Amino acid sequence: MMRNSMIGMVAGLVLSTAIAIAADKPSDPQIAHIAYTAGDLDIKAAKLALEKSKNETVRAFANDMVRDHQAVNDKALTLVKKLGVTPVDNETSKALIAQAEKKQAELASLSGSAFEKAYVDNEVAYHKMVNDALRTTLIPSSSNAELKSLLETGLKIFEGHLHHAEMLAHTHH
């Protein structure tokens, strides 16, 4: 227990450090990669929830996450193609993936309402973190106007998800 929360804290620190370093000057190709990765990881978490949970409310939420994040990522792919930009892997994307893999493993070991609670709590934390990164780093750093605009729309959508996840978290306590 203690150990797990310590690991979680360390992962959180690693991630904020990674974002802080990238904050120096993430390029548009890096920003595109980070945003796409962040969406993709939430889709993976939702798919795990759809595999493991029989709770209708949680499943509906997970389906919403798959659909919305897929729609945003499809838009992002269309945009980078149009702009002739190739997303570039970077430390922030790597940190996001490492943290998400750890969380996925932790979630995979749970079941029933313990899983549901952990999934929903993580959705709250994850959307908070990603929204924060969008607001403070990714949006202000993006130089292409269309990319910036898509990220701003993404942030609005993900704020909606955070709101939804917080409502679920309240009903799951």
Partner 1 sequence: MRKISGATFAGIFQLALTFPSQGGEPVRVKITNLAFLPAEITVQAGETVEWVNEDFIDHTATETSEEWDVPIPAEKSAELKLTRAGTFSYYCRIHPGMKGTVHVIAK
For binding to partner 1 (CB under 8 A), which residues are involved? 60, 64, 67-68, 71-72, 75, 153, 156-157, 159-161, 163-164, 167
- We find the least distance from the C-beta atom of residue 19 to partner 1, in angstroms, to be 25
Distance CA 173, CA 162 (A): 17
Of 26 and 154, nearer to partner 1 (C-beta) is: 154
Looking from the CA of 89 toward its CB, the CA atoms found within 13 Å total 3
- We find the least distance from the C-beta atom of residue 74 to partner 1, in angstroms, to be 8
Of 65 and 107, nearer to partner 1 (C-beta) is: 65
- We find the least distance from the C-beta atom of residue 159 to partner 1, in angstroms, to be 7
Residue whose C-alpha is closest to residue 87's, from 130, 136, 35: 35
- We find the least distance from the C-beta atom of residue 161 to partner 1, in angstroms, to be 7
Distance CA 134, CA 131 (A): 5
DSSP letters of 92-125?
Answer: HHHHHHHHHHHHHHHHHT--HHHHHHHHHHHHHH
Of 112 and 160, nearer to partner 1 (C-beta) is: 160
Of 78 and 109, nearer to partner 1 (C-beta) is: 78
- We find the least distance from the C-beta atom of residue 70 to partner 1, in angstroms, to be 10
Of 18 and 32, nearer to partner 1 (C-beta) is: 32
Give Cα 31 distance to the centre of its chain.
Answer: 14
